Structure 1
Amino acid sequence: MTKDEIYNWIAKDLVESFEISPERITPEARLYEDLDIDSIDAVDLIVKLKQVTGKRMQPEAFKSVRTINDVVEAVYGLIHT
């Protein structure tokens, strides 16, 4: 997966799963402050990322993630290791 494909998947999932309006989703959008993603939502997102990538992202690694772009970078790194 490319970074664009990862971003598009994440954006689509945020709209469908968390009912976030598409215009609020940008690479710089902060998950907790801008998109109101809470820790339970973050765990749900990690589970879905595992289903897509086939690899498990450690919850500790996700703690440093602040923006959608951070998620993209973390997933991209996970896929390409």
Structure 2
Amino acid sequence: MDKAAIITTINEFLIDEFEVDGATISPEAILKDTLGLDSLDYVDLVVTVESNFGVKLGEADFVGIATFQDFYDLIENKIKSKTA
């Protein structure tokens, strides 16, 4: 899966599952603020990522994740290390 497909998939499930306005999603936008995530939402996000990409995320994975670009890069790296 290439980076563009990863970004498209992430944006689609954020819009569908988290009812985010697609216009607010940009690589520079702050993930937590844009999505309005609380601790339960993070659990839902992890489950959604696992079902869409087949990768596991832990609490430590979110350390340093601020923007959507950070999140896209995290998922891309998880997919790459899974297939390596």
Q: Shorter-normalised TM-score: what interval?
A: 0.7 to 0.9
Residues in 2 aligned to 1:49 and 1:15: alpha-carbon distance in whole angstroms: 14
Correspondence for 1:79 = 79
Question: Which position in structure 2 is the counterpart of 1:55?
Answer: 55
Point out 4+ residue stretches in structure 1 off by more than 3 angstroms: none
Distance 1:23 1:47, change over 3 A: same
Work out the percentage of aligned pairs sharing the same amino acid: 31
Q: Is the 8 A contact 1:29 1:35 kept in 2?
A: no
Please list every run of 5 or more consecutive structure 2 residues that lacks an aligned counterpart in the other structure: none
Contact 1:31–1:66 (8 Å) recurs in 2: yes
TM-score (norm 1): 0.86
Q: Does 1:30 align with 2:7?
A: no
Greater helix share, 1 or 2?
A: 2
CA contact (8 A) 2:18 2:35 kept: no
> Which sections of structure 1, spanning at least 5 residues, go unmatched?
none
Structure 1 residue identity aligned to 2:36 = D
1:70 Cα deviation from its structure 2 partner = 0.8
* TM-score, structure 2 normalization: 0.83
Contact 1:43 1:59 in 2 (8 A): no
